[in-house]
Amino acid sequence: MVFIQPYPFHIYICEGVVPGPCVSHFISSQPVKPLTEGKMSSGVCFGKSKAFGFCVFGWMNGTKSLSSVASESEIKRISLETLDIEMTEWPRPLHTLRYVRDPHRHRVRLPSAPSAVPDWVDGPATNPRTIGTPETTAQVHPQLFTRKLVAVAEAEHGLEVVIGELDHVAVDGGGRATGAALKDGRVIAADAVVLALGPWSGRLSMLNSLFRVYGLKAHSIVLEPNEPSVITPHALFLSYYSSHGGRPMDPEVYPRPTGEVYVCGMSSEAQVPDDPEGIVGDVESIKVLKRVAGTVSSLLKEGEARVKAEQACFLPCTDDNKPVIGEIPGVRRCYVATGHSCWGILNGPATGAAMAELVLDGKSSIVDITPFSPARFVGGGSRRRY
């Protein structure tokens, strides 16, 4: 069970893949503890993240992300310090390129002008552009990173992990959160509750009566090439024109230091399933990603690379494309951190650091999260019903 130690302040964090564990990490390293982290299943969260883990510093200005309001250098510092907790080879700096893959246009290699495209990319590649250098782009391993955060918080800071599905947040007559009621009947008393449920946030009436969070299903495959040593640390962003015509796609290709190559793309809005363990990729989308891989490099073709994983996961998206981070209007001591879309791993540490301050000190100074407050949805015509 939970809360066996006589600490004065209990915080229940219903967590997701990165933002949730980051909240735990930052809160647990403060003198106030313990906290309890709840998750729907032991595997899906830190055990089985299917995202890539690409992190970029310097591109985000002008976008509606955390980094557009916080100092780039501060986000970078928080992220790198958090990401770099004794993980060999991670985070790994990357070169990042964008190019057009058009079967009707071929790359011309001039000896005097060596291409930015690495040699292992032997398919059509035109208009290559360097969009990230090892100083500005890096990759982390979401599973290792999150496992490490949770393990440190458990071993060193008294974090207690509860496996169970949150049903609702218990709220007293004065509008203050008092704990988490789980579907199996357990009620975990808490002085504060943080909801980091990703695309499942919309299933809680406390949240969906205020704003919409929807899931964008994205596919990925993990390949193990027969010749991994040839593949250099270059992340590839493609404008991909198919030989069959149609609109261009925008798949991404990421080599890992393990020798694996991760290829993702093929996204569309879809309902999240009840059980996150039950997410499977659509056959056609997986087929397209395999074709993409084989046309990027002959080393990634069938026969030259083993398919280690075929998978899908959901991006948590909001209607105004901004994350939602802050105290829920009308429910004191209940907080939400969701809507990170395709940048939840990059922005997870800054979200965690800001949320820890908000919960413990009543305001965040490390990152200005005011633009992300759920209060922005109040008055938007939604009806409160919890």
Ligand X SMILES: Cc1cc2nc3c(=O)[nH]c(=O)nc-3n(C[C@H](O)[C@H](O)[C@H](O)COP(=O)(O)OP(=O)(O)OC[C@H]3O[C@@H](n4cnc5c(N)ncnc54)[C@H](O)[C@@H]3O)c2cc1C
Rounded CA separation 324/333 (Å)? 16
Q: In what order do the strands lie in the sheet with 234-240?
A: 126-132, 95-101, 234-240, 252-255, 261-269, 213-225, 305-318
Tell me: does residue 197 bind ligand X (CB under 6 A): yes
12, 52, 214, 372: residue in contact with ligand X (rule CB under 6 A): 52
* Cβ neighbours of residue 246 closer than 8 Å, sequence gap 6 or more: none
Tell me: does residue 159 bind ligand X (CB under 6 A): no
Tell me: does residue 211 bind ligand X (CB under 6 A): no
345, 354, 358, 367: residue in contact with ligand X (rule CB under 6 A): 345
C-beta atoms surrounding 89 within 10 Å: 11
Of 11-19, 26-34, 103-111, 116-124, the window that binds ligand X (rule: CB under 6 A) is 11-19
Note the maximum CA span of the chain.
Answer: 75
27, 44, 177, 221: residue in contact with ligand X (rule CB under 6 A): 44
Distance in Å, CB of 279 to ligand X, minimum: 10
Structure tokens at 116: 């930015």
Tell me: does residue 72 bind ligand X (CB under 6 A): no
Of 36-44, 81-89, 225-233, 370-378, the window that binds ligand X (rule: CB under 6 A) is 36-44
- Which stretch of DSSP H or E encloses residue 266? strand 261-269
Rounded CA separation 337/172 (Å)? 22
The 232-271 contact track toward ligand X, x by CB under 6 A, reads: --------------------------------x-------
**13 vs 124, beta carbon nearer ligand X:** 13
- Helix and strand element counts for the chain (H, E): 6, 19
Tell me: does residue 200 bind ligand X (CB under 6 A): yes
Tell me: does residue 16 bind ligand X (CB under 6 A): yes
Tell me: does residue 91 bind ligand X (CB under 6 A): no
Residue 233: phi and psi, rounded to 5, are -75, 70
Integer CA distances (angstroms), 94 to 62, 156, 235, 255, in order: 23, 32, 7, 9
60, 117, 121, 166: residue in contact with ligand X (rule CB under 6 A): 166
**200 vs 335, beta carbon nearer ligand X:** 200
Structure tokens at 367: 């990152």
Integer CA distances (angstroms), 298 to 114, 129, 224, in order: 20, 22, 13
Structure tokens at 103: 């079967």
**51 vs 354, beta carbon nearer ligand X:** 51
Distance in Å, CB of 238 to ligand X, minimum: 15
Report whether the peptide linkage leading into residue 34 is cis, meaning its omega lies within 30 degrees of zero: yes
238-261 as b/e, with b when 16 or more CB fall inside 10 Å?
Answer: bebbbeeeeeebebbbbbbeeebb
Tell me: does residue 340 bind ligand X (CB under 6 A): yes
20, 34, 225, 255: residue in contact with ligand X (rule CB under 6 A): 20
Tell me: does residue 354 bind ligand X (CB under 6 A): no
**17 vs 350, beta carbon nearer ligand X:** 17
Tell me: does residue 199 bind ligand X (CB under 6 A): yes
Distance in Å, CB of 49 to ligand X, minimum: 6
Distance in Å, CB of 240 to ligand X, minimum: 16
Q: Is 6 exposed, middle or buried (0-12, 13-18, 19+ CB in 10 A)?
A: exposed
132, 294, 344, 352: residue in contact with ligand X (rule CB under 6 A): 344
Of 49-57, 79-87, 92-100, 239-247, the window that binds ligand X (rule: CB under 6 A) is 49-57
**125 vs 213, beta carbon nearer ligand X:** 213
**218 vs 223, beta carbon nearer ligand X:** 218
> β-strand 187-189 against 324-327: which pairing, if any?
unpaired
Residues 275-334 close enough to bind ligand X by CB under 6 A: 276, 313-316
Which chain residues interact with ligand X by CB under 6 A?
14, 16-20, 38-41, 44-45, 51-54, 165-166, 196-200, 218, 220, 264, 276, 313-316, 338, 340-346
